[in-house]
């Protein structure tokens, strides 16, 4: 487990110490599956983060060491890397974007034995302060500072040049500095598949779990969090996929303006469902919980995002038909692996799409298996066509 340090550098007094969190026990990493099947894992591999407590790693001194120089039995010399991670808006517990990022660092802890500290800023105004807090720390010295979310870009543009010897990584935007590795996702590609699925299903009389479609409906919905280029890519891909699937289906959209407003998400989705929409796809972090609540209340369907939300939000698994998984965990894990290998991709931009499994359509754990075979095949065929370069998915919306 990472240590919760009362002081990290000279700036620590400016922050609430409680926001430096001990990580939760490592949950089993959610597996990724393509559109032809359900998720490949949900923690059933038995990993629960407790494998270090039984003395197998020698931390109790049973390997001949007395373990007295640290709570984990290590004197620090064998730690391959120390990482600081700054989460995006909404913080942990969103069962979506931030939690996906945490899975990557938990995987690195399990596989490599890294140490890490994590923080949840109260707002965008604290992003730069936490970035600098990690970068200026000397006890410990952080080998990598991970910045999660496009909204940290402006702060990191100022922070990175001030600490040229500090390695950073950032997700969802590009900071053009030699010490920053940039990880982008082709959200539009995965969202295109969600659009194909929605466009085909809404014209089909279909029931599963607590939801059903209205074959007389010709509209599906999209709920976004903060209106931004990243979320617009989700929307653009979804709309293009719907158009590809059917000439008769329209998309209605709503932006809540927050990644942490479930009541706003519920209000937006309820309005859609009550006006004939039977499937809503959200890209809104924790706001999406409200979309799921609305789907259950109205007996309709919803699509999740970032993680397989039929697992991470299992109380809504009876209405979550599929999720557009965005492998933020892969970006975090790979950036740490590169640090350990002395191969930090500073100054480079890495784009992860369908071909690299950076994004994917994953069917719901409870009801996804009931999607008709012909629709499953249509989604799978669209995936192949995108990878082959035969479908050019737009990154921007027309409005």
DSSP element (H, E) containing 115? strand 115-119
Our separate counts of H helices and E strands in the chain read: 10, 15
Task: Name the band, by pLDDT with cuts 50, 70 and 90, for residue 157.
Answer: very high
Beta-carbon contacts of residue 176 (< 8 Å; ≥ 6 apart)? 347
For the stretch 27-64, pLDDT in tens is 222 322 334 333 233 333 333 333 433 434 434 444 43
CA distance 167 to 163: 8
Pick from 172, 30, 166: which is nearest to 107 by CA? 30
Contacts of 68 (CB under 8 A, 6+ apart): 61
Coil, helix or strand at residue 223: strand
> Mean per-residue pLDDT for 230-241?
97
Domains detected in the chain: 10-185 (3.40.50.2300), 187-326+367-388 (3.40.50.2300)
User: Residue 77: its pLDDT value, please?
Assistant: 57
DSSP bridge partners of 302: 280, 320
Task: Output the pTM of the full model.
Answer: 0.78
C-alpha dist (Å) from residue 174 to 9, 36, 150: 27, 33, 8
Provide the pLDDT for residue 250.
97
Site of tokens 């350990």? 340
Q: How confident is the model at residue 215 (pLDDT cuts 50, 70, 90)?
A: confident
């Amino acid at each position: 487990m990472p240590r919760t340090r009362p002081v990290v550098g000279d700036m620590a007094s400016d922050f609430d110490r409680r926001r430096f969190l001990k990580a939760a026990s490592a949950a089993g990493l959610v597996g990724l599956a393509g559109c032809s099947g359900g998720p490949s894992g949900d923690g059933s591999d038995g990993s629960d983060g407790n494998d270090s407590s039984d003395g197998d790693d020698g931390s109790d001194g049973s390997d001949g060491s007395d373990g007295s120089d640290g709570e984990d039995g290590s004197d620090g010399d064998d730690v391959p890397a120390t990482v600081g991670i700054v989460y995006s808006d909404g913080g942990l517990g969103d069962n979506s974007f931030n939690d996906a990022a945490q899975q990557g660092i938990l995987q690195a802890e399990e596989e490599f034995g890294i140490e890490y500290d994590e923080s949840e800023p109260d707002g965008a105004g604290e992003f730069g302060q936490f970035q600098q807090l990690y970068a200026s720390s000397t006890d410990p010295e952080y080998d990598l500072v991970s910045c999660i979310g496009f909204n940290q870009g402006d702060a990191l543009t100022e922070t990175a040049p001030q600490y040229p010897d500090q390695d950073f990584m950032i997700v969802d935007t590009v900071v053009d500095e030699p010490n920053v590795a940039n990880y982008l996702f082709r959200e539009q590609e995965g969202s295109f598949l969600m659009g194909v699925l929605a466009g085909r299903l809404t014209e089909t009389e279909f029931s599963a779990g607590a939801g059903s479609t209205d074959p007389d409906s010709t509209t599906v919905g999209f709920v976004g969090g903060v209106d931004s280029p990243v979320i617009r890519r989700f929307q653009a891909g979804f709309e293009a996929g719907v158009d590809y699937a059917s000439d008769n289906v329209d998309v209605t959209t709503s932006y809540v303006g927050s990644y942490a407003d479930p009541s706003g998400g519920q209000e937006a989705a309820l309005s859609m469902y009550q006006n004939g929409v039977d499937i809503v796809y959200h890209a809104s972090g924790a706001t999406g919980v409200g979309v799921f609540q609305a789907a259950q209340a109205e007996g309709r369907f919803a699509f999740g995002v970032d993680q397989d939300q039929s697992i991470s939000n299992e109380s809504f698994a009876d209405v979550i038909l599929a999720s557009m998984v965005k492998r933020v965990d892969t970006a975090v894990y790979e950036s740490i692996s590169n640090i350990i290998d002395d191969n930090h991709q500073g100054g480079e931009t890495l784009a992860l799409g369908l071909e690299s499994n950076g994004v994917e359509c994953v069917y719901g754990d409870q009801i996804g298996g009931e999607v008709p075979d012909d629709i499953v095949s249509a989604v799978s065929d669209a995936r192949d066509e995108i990878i082959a370069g035969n479908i050019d998915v737009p990154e921007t919306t027309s409005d």
